[in-house]
Structure 1
Amino acid sequence: MNGVINFFKPRGMTSHDAVNLLRRTLKTKKIGHTGTLDPNASGVLPLCIGKGTRIAEYLLDSNKEYIGELTLGYRTDTQDGDGKVISISNKSVTENEIISTMSKYIGDISQLPPMYSALKHKGKKLYELAREGKTVERTPRSIKIYDQKILSIEDCKKILFYTSCSRGTYIRTLCDDIGMDLGTYGYMSYLLRVGAGSFKIEDSYSIEYISKLNHEEILQIITPMDKALEHIERFTVPEYLYSKLINGVVLQVDTEENMMNKLLRVYCKDIFVGIGKIILDDSKFYLKMDKVLMI
C-alpha cells in the first residue's frame, strides 16, 4: 500500500489520533498526515501510506477549503466554542456591516497565530503553555485568503461562510479578528474542512467505511502518489535518459526559463519517477531530482 487516503476526520479526534487509528485498521505502521486539522474540526485529512509518506512535505503547502460558522457577541480564550468566554458584547451589527467587514479579509493579510495552536516556542507547543496560563510573544504571519463567501446570516449573530486559503491560516483567528473588527467579538462555532489541495470532502472516507473493506478494496481507495501531487506541474524526460534519471544524475534538458526553480512531477517512459527542479548553470538548463519516488 503506497499512496494517500482521503480520510474524513470526525470532530474531537486529533490528527495524531487519526494516524494511529488508521495504522491499527490497515495493520501498517508507515502512515503520516499532511498537516494537522484542528481537533474540534471535521473533514478532509489526507493520510500518506507506505512510500506515500515521502510526499507528505509536498502536500503541506496545498490550499485548504473550509466551511465555518462565526458566532458574534462573545470572545473565548481559544477563539472557538471549546474555550472559556472572556468577553461579551451586546452591540448589534447589520448585515451590511458584516458583509463589508468580511470582504476586507480577502487577499494577502497578516495573522497572529493563536496561543491555542500546535506551533512551538522553545520546544514546547503553544497550547501547552496556554493551558498553564502563559502567553508568549508571537510573530504575525502572512497568509492568503483566495476566496471567501458568506453562505447565510442568521439574526446578524451567526454567519456561515466558505473560505479558500493558504497553508497556515487559522480560521479560529479569522473569526476572532472579524469579531474584533466589528466591535462585537466573535468566535468560531463550527468548522468543516471541505478541501485540501486536490482532495475534496465528497471523495473522503470515514473510518467506519474503511474498516469494512478487504485488502483489495482498500487498494482501490488509495490515491497514487503522482495523482496526489497533481497541483505540481508535470515534466517529461526523454526515454534514453531513463537509467541516469532513476539514479539521480543531474541531466541537461531542453526547456524554458519559466520552468526554473519550481517543483516538477518528473516522468519518463510514462512512469512517475519523482520530484525535481530545473536549475540554470552556465546558460544551460539542468534537471536535478529532489526526490526519486519510484516504487
Structure 2
Amino acid sequence: MKWRKNKMSINGFINVLKPPGMTSHDVVSCLRRIYGTKKIGHAGTLDPAAAGVLPVAVGNATRLLEYMGNTDKRYRAEVLLGLSTDTDDDTGNILERTLFTMPPQEKITTALLGFYGDIMQTPSVYSAIKINGRKACDLARSHIDVVIPPRSIHIYELVLRQIFTDKFCIDVHCSKGTYIRSLCVDIGKSLGIPATMGFLIRTAVGSFSLADSHTLEEIANNPLQSLQGVNILLNYIPGCAVNELAIANFRQGKKIEHDGSQKDGTAVLVYNDVDFAGIGIISENGQYIAPHKVLN
C-alpha cells in the first residue's frame, strides 16, 4: 500500500534512533529543519541520557499520534548496584554508596520474576510527569517538594541478560507509563541493595523497532526514504478499506456504510489502495462509520 506524498505535503511517520545527550524536543527541532515544516511531533518521550526508538509524526500524521498512546514498549537497561542517586540514574547526585556482594544469578532471576504482571510503581520526581501544569523534574530542580502518587503498570517480560561485577543488564517489555529508572531502583530494593539505572536504550515502541530506526544523519541525507506511510497505524488500530466514492463522502463529513464486523465506538482507519482519508468511529450497531478525524 502506498500513500501520496509530495514536496507540498509530506505526511507520515519516522522511526528515529535518538542519540544520548539530546532531548526528544531537540530531535523534533532538528527534523523541522530537515523537512521544512513545523508540523512535527513525537510519541513516547525519552530521557535526554537515553537512546533508542523515538516515533515521530510529520504533517497530517501528527493528528494521529494519540492513537499510539497506549502502545507497549521494550527497553534494555543497566542496573547499577551499591549506588543510589537523587535522579534514580547515573546522571544524578550520589545519595548513598554501599559495599555489597553481587547476588548469584538465581537470586536476581527470582527477584525479577516478582515484577511480572500488574504492579504499582512510583515514578521518579525527576520525570516529565506534569504537576499542576509543570514538569515534576523542573519542580525538583527548583528545590520544590514533589509528591507523585503510585500508578499501575504492567510488565510483560523481564529478562536477565548479563551479569558484571557491580551491575547487570535486563530486557524489559512493559506497558505505557513504565519508568525504567524506578524499576531499577525497585529491583535493587528487592535484592536488599541500593540501585540506580545506568545506560538505557529503547528497543521498540509497538511495531517501531530499533533494527528499522534511522539516525538523524541518515534522515538528513534522505528525508523521504526515512518516511513511513500513515498505514503503519494498521499495526495499532483496525483498518477499513473502502472505494473512492466512500472516501469522498467520508471527507465531506458523511457517514459511510460498514459491514458490522466491529462494535460501536471502535476507531478504524478509512483508506483505499492509494489514499488515506482519516479515522472513523463505528456507529449504529456496526452499520456505519462516522467521520472522527478527517485528513485531506
C-alpha displacement at 1:177, in angstroms?
0.9
For 1:179, the equivalent position in structure 2 comes to 188
Q: Is the 8 A contact 1:198 1:228 kept in 2?
A: no
Paired with 1:244 and 1:27, the residues of 2 have a C-alpha distance of: 32
C-alpha displacement at 1:75, in angstroms?
1.2
What residue identity is the alignment partner of 1:267?
Y
For 1:145, the equivalent position in structure 2 comes to 155
Paired with 2:35 and 2:241, the residues of 1 have a C-alpha distance of: 34
For 2:282, the equivalent position in structure 1 comes to 278
For 2:124, the equivalent position in structure 1 comes to 114
Paired with 2:179 and 2:57, the residues of 1 have a C-alpha distance of: 23
Count residues in correspondence.
286
C-alpha displacement at 1:228, in angstroms?
4.1
Between 87-96 and 233-242, report the one with greater CA deviation: 233-242
2:230 maps to which of 217, 225, 234? 225
For 1:102, the equivalent position in structure 2 comes to 112
Match status 1:82 vs 2:87: no
Between 144-153 and 167-176, report the one with greater CA deviation: 144-153
Q: Percent identity, please.
A: 40
Paired with 2:126 and 2:150, the residues of 1 have a C-alpha distance of: 15
Between 19-28 and 109-118, report the one with greater CA deviation: 19-28
1:287 maps to which of 275, 284, 289? 289
C-alpha displacement at 1:90, in angstroms?
2.6
C-alpha displacement at 1:239, in angstroms?
5.8
For 2:78, the equivalent position in structure 1 comes to 69
C-alpha displacement at 1:289, in angstroms?
2.5
What residue identity is the alignment partner of 1:230?
N
C-alpha displacement at 1:251, in angstroms?
3.8
Q: Is the 8 A contact 1:90 1:184 kept in 2?
A: no
Paired with 2:163 and 2:15, the residues of 1 have a C-alpha distance of: 31
Paired with 1:194 and 1:132, the residues of 2 have a C-alpha distance of: 32
Change (3 A) 1:131 1:284: closer
Could you tell me the TM-score, scaled by structure 2's length?
0.89
Between 182-191 and 247-256, report the one with greater CA deviation: 247-256
C-alpha displacement at 1:40, in angstroms?
0.7
User: How does 1:146-295 map onto structure 2 within 5 Å?
Assistant: 146-155=156-165, 157-213=166-222, 218-237=223-242, 241-256=246-261, 259-268=263-272, 271-279=275-283, 281=284, 285-293=287-295, 295=296
User: How does 1:9-48 map onto structure 2 within 5 Å?
Assistant: 9-48=18-57
Paired with 2:91 and 2:286, the residues of 1 have a C-alpha distance of: 57
Q: Is the 8 A contact 1:58 1:229 kept in 2?
A: no
Between 239-248 and 36-45, report the one with greater CA deviation: 239-248
What residue identity is the alignment partner of 1:61?
N
Paired with 1:42 and 1:269, the residues of 2 have a C-alpha distance of: 35
For 2:16, the equivalent position in structure 1 comes to 7
What residue identity is the alignment partner of 1:120?
K
Between 127-136 and 261-270, report the one with greater CA deviation: 261-270
Q: Is the 8 A contact 2:67 2:236 kept in 1?
A: no
Paired with 2:35 and 2:105, the residues of 1 have a C-alpha distance of: 49
What residue identity is the alignment partner of 2:173?
S
C-alpha displacement at 1:127, in angstroms?
0.6
Q: Is the 8 A contact 1:4 1:228 kept in 2?
A: no
Unaligned runs of 5+ in 2: 1-9
Q: What RMSD in Å do the two structures reach over aligned CA positions?
A: 2.0
Change (3 A) 1:61 1:23: same
SS at match of 1:178: helix
Paired with 2:245 and 2:55, the residues of 1 have a C-alpha distance of: 36
Could you tell me the TM-score, scaled by structure 1's length?
0.89
SS at match of 1:220: coil
SS at match of 2:155: strand
C-alpha displacement at 1:284, in angstroms?
6.0
SS at match of 1:227: helix
